[in-house]
Amino acid sequence: MNNEALKWVYSPMPSTFSLSFLQHCKGLIFKATGESYPLELIRTMPVDTLVGSFFLIPETYSRQQAMDELKVFGLLWSMRIDDNSSRILTFLIAEEFRGRGLASDVWIRFVETGIAEGILNVSLEVREENDIAYEFYLRRGLQAKGKLSQYYRQSVGVAMFGPLQCPQPQSQ
């Protein structure tokens, strides 16, 4: 496991990304999900920087340096749906950095940022077989609302929805 110290920083709009960084994001998304998004789709994603969109980068890097050197290892991109709802467009962490609590860390920042902007609810889609992510979202108050056949290229998606909140402490 890679023990490099990492931090979450705010993500700019993908429309501002260089071609090489768009290609890097495409690779991250493909490795984490198996989905191959066209560069133009990534560039035009309606990421809303105000409701919580983040990059995972080395602790000692600035955001721009991480982008220039292709040292971004995770993404959480969201968009505003209406005055009080947001949707997560993509949420991933490179495999070598999973299991370190980084998803929980950015979820708290996502919740705090969203609530500060008046967001009360969040929706997303997750692969049906992605038990780790599915359980992660359940612990954060989201509920499955339906299945989406052919949502992912080789898998069924589960639509989830719930209040924007941090997980409740587990009782011992």
CATH superfamily label, 6-120: Gcn5-related N-acetyltransferase (GNAT) (3.40.630.30)
Instruction: Give the span between the Cα atoms of 47 and 88, in whole angstroms.
Output: 9
Spell out the per-residue pLDDT of the chain, length 172, in tens.
567 899 999 999 999 999 999 999 999 999 988 888 999 999 999 999 888 899 999 999 999 999 999 999 999 999 999 999 999 999 999 999 999 999 999 999 999 999 999 999 999 998 777 889 999 999 999 999 876 555 555 666 889 999 997 665 555 4
Q: Output the six-digit token pair for 3.
A: 């023990």
Distance CA 124, CA 126 (A): 7
Tell me how far apart the alpha carbons of residues 170 and 17 are, in angstroms, rounded to a whole number: 40
Instruction: Give the torsion sign (CA, 87, 89, 93, 98).
Output: positive
| 113 CB neighbour count, 10 Å cutoff | 20
CB within 8 A of 123, min separation 6: which ones? 81, 85, 86, 87, 88, 159, 160, 161
